[in-house]
Amino acid sequence: MTPPHFKRFFIAPINAYQYISRMLPGSCRYYPTCSEYAKWQFAFNAPHRALTASTLRILRCNQLFPGGIDYPVVRWKPNICNTPCIPPQVERVSFWLIPQKKGRYLVVKTI
């Protein structure tokens, strides 16, 4: 798993882009938007995988592709404790991981 400070390094430029793009008309053909997709990829994947998936998504965001709903697919391995674990106190669920194939999950953000 990538340390959180590396994730912030990759997500900070995306946040800056999203701040500036709020002043412009929306043009992304997908939901979630390409920048939000990239943020989710960097939050859940290793940087090299996230960069590859985000770049391919941005290249697909044009008139030659139909667009639509395209949630990111991430690899995730749950932490399994051999001793009794005390689950962390969760105040709010931000994302749902929906199983797809072995070890791969769709990332869906809660409303």
The mean predicted confidence, pLDDT, of the chain is 82
Rounded CA-CA distance 85/87 in Å is: 6
Tell me: the pLDDT tens digits for 8-45?
A: 888 999 999 999 998 988 888 888 888 999 998 988 88
- What is the structure's pLDDT at 90? 56
- Cα four-point dihedral sign 43, 47, 52, 55: positive
- What is the structure's pLDDT at 61? 87
Residue the block writes with tokens 């809660």: 110
Rounded CA-CA distance 52/46 in Å is: 10
pTM score over 0.85: no
Q: What is the DSSP letter of 84?
A: P
Give the Cβ contact number of residue 27 at 10 Å: 9
Instruction: Express as a percent the part of the chain with pLDDT over 90.
Output: 19
More confident residue, 97 or 90: 97
More confident residue, 85 or 55: 55
- Pair 48, 10: CB distance under 8 Å: no
More confident residue, 6 or 80: 6
Confidence of residue 69 (pLDDT cuts 50, 70, 90): confident
With a cut of 80, say whether residue 86 has pLDDT above it.
Answer: no
